[in-house]
Amino acid sequence: MKNEVVFITGSAKRIGAYTARHLHSLGYRIVLHCHHSVDQVTTLAEQLNAIRKNSVKWVQGDLCNPEQLKNLAESAINAFDRIDVLINNASAFYATPVSNFNQQDWQALMGSNAQAPLYLIQLLQKQLKENQGVVINMVDIHAQRPLSGHTIYCMAKAALVTLTQSMAQELAPLVRVNGVAPGAILWPDNALPENEKNAILKQIPLGRLGCEKDISEAIAFLISAPYITGQILAVDGGRSIANPSVA
């Protein structure tokens, strides 16, 4: 894997950063991406390059701005002159009650979760085909069971599911396209009350919160699984199959 290059959007923090560390430990070269989190992405790149010299570079850009996506894709390619894996990880997530959402909410949520993955696949398809590459889209179990008050986000993730399945057909047989659908992996940055946390945990058959390792290992599996495409792998402790009357 020493020559293979993985481009991960939204990889300065949280699951994206952990996935970058995990894939780097497996021997991949990594192209990190951030929009505002320059300090975090710089630190992560320095740490990983200290482990293996010249194995990590980073690019910056607004995924919700279509005019920036072409330059972003070109910068990602130029980092190591190839792309083997595209991981569409970046995602805006927040509530949009029907009474007060606006165009900015639509652009932020649809832009990061659906529009950017579509355009990046288009812009990187030549590289991915040449290298018989892989696309991994970060979906969500709520694409199938919408989360109340989060209509635009759930619409965007549902679109990403369709994109995954459609591109798996259109780019076959040279490129495989799959999705990972996390459940409750990390608590949001804005702390939830304990009663809400406990209510969520009761919905999970395995009875615990997941972690970044669970997602990064699922991604690594899908990258290396040569006969799997067009699939959405739920990594949720069984939450998506729990009894709806309970969940």
Confidence (pLDDT) at 189: 66
What range defines the domain where residue 210 resides?
5-241
Average pLDDT, the chain: 93
What average pLDDT score do residues 121-147 get?
95
Number of domains present in the structure of the chain: 1
Q: What is the pLDDT of residues 47-65, one digit of tens each?
A: 999 999 999 999 999 999 9
Token pair recorded at residue 61: 């850009």
Decide if 60 is inside a domain.
yes
Q: Is 146 exposed, middle or buried (0-12, 13-18, 19+ CB in 10 A)?
A: middle
Q: What is the pLDDT of residues 205-236, one digit of tens each?
A: 998 989 999 999 999 999 999 999 999 999 99
DSSP 58: E
Catalytic residue chosen out of the listed positions 28, 119, 153, 227: 153
Confidence (pLDDT) at 185: 85
Decide if 181 is inside a domain.
yes
Do 28 and 6 touch, CB atoms closer than 8 A? yes
- Does residue 246 register a pLDDT over 60? no
Q: Which residues contact 98 (CB under 8 A, 6 or more apart)?
A: 151
* 116-130 and 66-80 helices, crossing angle to 10°: 30
Decide if 206 is inside a domain.
yes
Decide if 74 is inside a domain.
yes
Q: Which residues contact 63 (CB under 8 A, 6 or more apart)?
A: 9, 10, 35, 69, 72, 90, 111, 112, 116
Residue of 108 and 189 predicted with greater confidence: 108
Decide if 78 is inside a domain.
yes
Quick check: is 153 catalytic? yes
Residue 19's CATH number: 3.40.50.720
Q: How many residues does the chain have?
A: 247
Q: Which residues contact 29 (CB under 8 A, 6 or more apart)?
A: 2, 3, 4, 5, 6, 55, 56, 80
Confidence (pLDDT) at 1: 55
Q: How confident is the model at residue 197 (pLDDT cuts 50, 70, 90)?
A: confident
What average pLDDT score do residues 163-185 get?
96
Decide if 246 is inside a domain.
no
Decide if 247 is inside a domain.
no
Determine the residue type at 53.
K
Decide if 117 is inside a domain.
yes
Q: With residue 109 as reference, give the H or E element that holds it.
A: helix 103-110
pTM (predicted TM-score): 0.93
Cβ-based neighbour number of residue 164 at 10 Å = 26
User: Can the peptide bond before residue 205 be classed as cis, meaning omega within 30 degrees of 0?
Assistant: no
